[in-house]
Amino acid sequence: MSGAVTSRWLVPGPARPGAPRLYCFPHGGGSAAEYVRWGAALPAFEVHAVHLPGRGARPAEPPLTDLDSLVAALVRAVPFGVTGPYAFFGHSLGALVAHEVSRVLWEAGEAPPGHVVVSAFPAPSRVRVTAPVHDLPTQELVAEVARRHGGLPPEVLTSPALRALTANALRADYRVLETYAWRPGPPVPVPLTVFAGRDDGISEADLRAWGAHTTEPVDVRLFPGGHFYLREDTPAVQRALAGALTRPRRAVGV
Q: Which residues are catalytic?
A: 92
CA dist 141 and 70 (Å) reads 22
Nearest to 26 by CA among 133, 128, 98: 98
Pairwise CA distance, residues 143 & 242, whole Å: 34
Cβ 218 vs Cβ 90: under 8 Å: no
Return the axis-axis angle of helices 67-77 and 93-107, rounded to nearest 10°: 60
3-state secondary structure of 180: coil
**10 Å Cβ neighbour count for 215?**
11
